[in-house]
Amino acid sequence: MKALILIDIQNGLTHKKTLYKESIFLESVNAAIKAYRDSDSKIVFVQHNNNLLKKGSVDWEIDNRIGKQENDFVIQKVHGNAFQDTDLKNILEDSGVHSITIGGLVTHGCVKATCLGGLAAGFNVSVLKNGHTNWNKDAESIIIETEKELIKRGVLLDANKSLNELTARELGQLFPIIIQDYTDKWKDCYQTEKQIITSALSSPDIVSIDHIGSTAIPGIKAKPTVDILLQLSQQADIKKLENVFLSMGYQLNERPDNPPPHMTFVKGYSPQGFKGQAYHVHVRYKGDWDEIRFRDYLRNHDEIAKEYEALKVELAERYRNNREAYTDLKADFVKKVNKWTQK
């Protein structure tokens, strides 16, 4: 879960002087609010309290050009760092938030202090590109230098990129490795999604459809991603298949290294973090696939399944934000088991 935190966008500051690139700032903040609201992510407004921004005054109020809603969280602060002497950390943790994006006023003041406060509190922190500003005569250079400093300290620059534009590091921070206890809900999710997929596609195109991955192995902990292997006939219309999946809310990941037709469809991801149940549909032509043999072997060998569970838990703790390392370091175990299945 990700949260958008907006710092001190209050009348007493926004109307004090003309903000640097004011229209772009307002547009960027409102676009971020809409994106986070559409993905059911948390939005937190922070209001400063001092002699110039007295609680209850017009100057203290959030600027009405910003799309705040009544159900958004609101935090009151008296320090530059919005985490200092407030309940912000507890509110975020109670909501399951791991990554935060920060915007507002002013760049080199409360925005910077809150970014560093978020890092110190253990969150993955991004600063909203074009979503923080000030009214200083050297505003542009201050913004550039502050962003450079924050990036050196470990803060990412959130430029409202699409998922396909994000780097591996950004994806790792946005979608951390989370291991959960087994639940029958995963089996139910698979059955429901299977019905949706088979109803949407032409029956002759589908050779088989299977629940694979750790969520298909009862009793072991897993990332809560439902993996589905969809095997097609060689005559299947791939372009039509792609259009059907896109119409169902999936995104296409072209995978040149995967077996033909080199594609995986994913759902449950947004530029603001996880959104609902995550699904991966691995599309292949008919074949004898390791994933099914691996699943069946672990279903029938509880002791080996628990070894695999322990390995995943250990790797998730070490590589929470490095999905590539997490996957690569499981490979030897998977290869070993697959050799056993071929004996």
Radius of gyration (C-alpha) of the chain in whole angstroms: 24
Q: What would the pLDDT profile of 278-300 be if each residue is shown by its tens digit?
A: 999 999 999 999 999 999 999 99
**pLDDT for the residue 27:** 87
Q: Is 138 exposed, middle or buried (0-12, 13-18, 19+ CB in 10 A)?
A: exposed
C-alpha 223/C-alpha 200 separation (Å) is 27
pLDDT tens, position by position, 163-194: 776 778 778 878 899 999 999 999 999 999 99
Q: Give the Cα separation of 228 and 264 in Å (integer).
A: 10
For the stretch 220-240, pLDDT in tens is 999 999 999 999 999 999 988
Q: Centre a 10 Å sphere on the Cβ of residue 328 and count the other Cβ atoms it contains.
A: 12
Question: Does the structure show a pLDDT above 90 at 9?
Answer: yes
**CA dihedral (85, 104, 175, 168) positive or negative:** negative
Percentage of residues in the chain with pLDDT exceeding 90? 71
Please state, in angstroms and rounded to a whole number, the distance separating the CA atoms of residues 62 and 10. Answer: 4
Q: What does the alpha-carbon distance between residue 103 and residue 115 come to, in Å, rounded to a whole number?
A: 9
Q: How confident is the model at residue 275 (pLDDT cuts 50, 70, 90)?
A: confident
pLDDT at 272: 67
Residue partners of 250: CB distance under 8 A and separation at least 6:
265, 266, 267, 279, 281
Long-range CB pairs of 136-139 (<8 Å, 24+ gap) are 136/20, 136/106, 136/108, 139/20, 139/107
Is residue 93 helix, strand or coil? helix
Q: Is the pTM of this model over 0.75?
A: no
Tell me the domains of the chain and their CATH numbers. 2-160 (3.40.50.850), 185-341 (3.30.460.10)
Q: What are the start-end ranges of the H helices in 154-269?
A: 168-174, 185-200, 238-247
